[in-house]
Amino acid sequence: MSTVLTIGADGDLAQRFAEVSGGHAVALGVDALADGGLLGHLVMPDAPHLLVLGPEVDLDEAFAIAGQVEVVAPSTSVVVVAFADPDLWMEAMRAGVRDVLSPHATEADVAAVLERATALAQARRAAMAPVSPASVQASAPAPAPVRRVVVVASPKGGVGKTTVATNLAVGLATAEPGSTVIVDLDVQFGDVASALALVPQHTLPDTVHGAASNDPLVLKTFLTPHPTGLHVLAGSDSPAAGDAVTAADVAQLLDTLSREFRYVVVDTAPGLSDLTLTALERATDLVLMGSMDVPGVRGLRKELDVLTELELVPGGRHLVLNFAGSSGGLAMADIEETVGAPLDLVLPRHDAALVATNTGVPLLQKGGKDPVTRGLQSLVERLAPRPATGRGRLPRRRVGAR
């Protein structure tokens, strides 16, 4: 079975896909689009995970194809090859394109695109598979679990990153025991441990500099257990110790953790530090947060533009606006226009969130009925869709208060 189908990609790019897919790539010329044979390749039960529409395919045609593929082969991700600017990126996403790959993509870029497509294909196939006793007894091996590295970031502090990251992690760990680790990458002022009422014995700097750095078994003993089954790697207890953590340390740490855990949730410091960018290089999902005020909304747009420019927006992108309430004159339509994309989740300002931080009991651990808890639960479901519902669509924006 071919995992990758490239159409109209030049020899170098097609070659790179052949290499990263271990030879499971088929390269066709643009004439494959002329005779309507393309859809035939895609509706087969083993449709490719990834359809790459190379520079020789006209962009409008590529976008139209992406729309068709979404319908006939939802487990196939479409990638177009083009120099992306924010407008093109937006148009591509709206058309159903999963990634825009630069014509100068390196082998690492190509591998990352394929990895995301494979993860998505597996998730979609699992979600669409009928659950029946026969399928449980089937002798075919179960597909490898989908691994996700979820980075929670924002341009500014105090917008709710730690609140969202800790709740997301607790929600995922509760849904699937033993599946989730949270890493506090706010190495200088991280407060994940405090938000979870934990007193960790080990912190991030001990982990990346000692025996745990290259031994997954030792690494696991450095994690702090939370009563919900979540594993926690706390930030440093002193800014100086935090300074000694390098991007290379973080890269190695996240690579190891993502082999050991199905979900790695990463809380970050405000802005785009080296450590955050390193985490984003490994992310399958970005939860990008802003607050509901003019600087907050503009900051969100700027950060999204910069990350798009750097090609560091992973396939799973979740835009979250926090502290919605009396709008202070900001209309949701204006906010979305400024951000340049629809918001995926709007969380209202609510005292329950503050109480949760102060008592160290996350909202999803407590399970209240307030709108912030409900919004956070919907975010968990975006990342870990329940297969039984089988509708194959991520929940649209969940609005707590408007």
Query: What is the contact surface with Mg ion in residues (CB under 5 A)?
Result: 161-162
Least separation in angstroms between CB 158 and Mg ion: 8
Helix (H, G, I), strand (E, B) or coil at 1: coil
Q: Which of residues 186 and 311 has its CB atom nearest to Mg ion in the complex?
A: 186
Strand partners, 25: 4
- Taking each helix axis from N to C terminus, what angle separates 86-95 and 59-72, rounded to the nearest 10 degrees? 30
Report the residue number whose CB is nearest to Mg ion: 162
Q: Is 333 exposed, middle or buried (0-12, 13-18, 19+ CB in 10 A)?
A: exposed
Angstrom distance (rounded) from CA 239 to CA 203: 12
Question: Mind spelling out the 3-state secondary structure of 244-276?
Answer: CCCHHHHHHHHHHHHHHCCEEEEECCCCCCHHH
Angstrom distance (rounded) from CA 223 to CA 219: 7
Question: Which does residue 354 touch among ligand ADP, Mg ion, none (CB within 5 to 8 A, set by kind)?
Answer: ligand ADP
Q: Which of 76, 118, 163, 203 binds ligand ADP (CB under 6 A)?
A: 163
| Beta strands at 4-7 and 25-28: parallel, antiparallel or unpaired | parallel
Q: Which of residues 190 and 400 has its CB atom nearest to Mg ion in the complex?
A: 190
Question: Which does residue 110 touch among Mg ion, ligand ADP, none (CB within 5 to 8 A, set by kind)?
Answer: none
Least separation in angstroms between CB 364 and Mg ion: 17
Sites for ligand ADP among residues 183-212 (CB under 6 A): none
Using CB under 6 A, count the residues that bind ligand ADP: 17
Question: Which does residue 331 touch among ligand ADP, Mg ion, none (CB within 5 to 8 A, set by kind)?
Answer: none
Binding string, residues 318-347; x marks residues near ligand ADP by CB under 6 A: ----xx-----------------------x
Least separation in angstroms between CB 280 and ligand ADP: 17
Angle at 18 between CA 44 and CA 278, to 5 degrees: 105
352 phi and psi angles, rounded to 5 deg: -55, -35
H or E, element range at 153: strand 148-153
Question: Which does residue 236 touch among ligand ADP, Mg ion, none (CB within 5 to 8 A, set by kind)?
Answer: none
Least separation in angstroms between CB 373 and ligand ADP: 10
Q: Which of residues 174 and 357 has its CB atom nearest to ligand ADP in the complex?
A: 357
Sites for ligand ADP among residues 349-368 (CB under 6 A): 349-350, 353-354, 357
Q: Which of 98, 116, 161, 226 binds ligand ADP (CB under 6 A)?
A: 161
C-alpha separations of 280 from 218, 360, 386 in Å: 25, 27, 25
Least separation in angstroms between CB 217 and ligand ADP: 31
Question: Which does residue 33 touch among ligand ADP, Mg ion, none (CB within 5 to 8 A, set by kind)?
Answer: none
Q: Which of residues 49 and 161 has its CB atom nearest to Mg ion in the complex?
A: 161
Give residue 17's region: left, alpha or beta (phi > 0; psi -120 to 50). Answer: alpha
Angstrom distance (rounded) from CA 70 to CA 263: 26
Least separation in angstroms between CB 288 and ligand ADP: 12
Angstrom distance (rounded) from CA 172 to CA 309: 30
Angstrom distance (rounded) from CA 237 to CA 359: 20
Q: Which of residues 149 and 372 has its CB atom nearest to ligand ADP in the complex?
A: 372
Asked whether the beta carbons of 361 and 197 are under 8 A apart, the reply is: yes
Question: Which does residue 347 touch among ligand ADP, Mg ion, none (CB within 5 to 8 A, set by kind)?
Answer: ligand ADP
Q: What token pair was written down for 285?
A: 């999902």
Least separation in angstroms between CB 277 and Mg ion: 17
**Segment contacting ligand ADP by CB under 6 A, of 65-73, 79-87, 101-109, 348-356:** 348-356
Q: What token pair was written down for 271?
A: 């802005």
Does position 250 bind ligand ADP by CB under 6 A? Answer: no
Q: Which of 328, 373, 312, 323 is nearest to 348 (CA)?
A: 323
Q: Which of residues 276 and 322 has its CB atom nearest to ligand ADP in the complex?
A: 322
Asked whether the beta carbons of 16 and 107 are under 8 A apart, the reply is: yes
Q: What residues line the site for ligand ADP (CB under 6 A)?
A: 154, 157-163, 322-323, 347, 349-350, 353-354, 357, 372
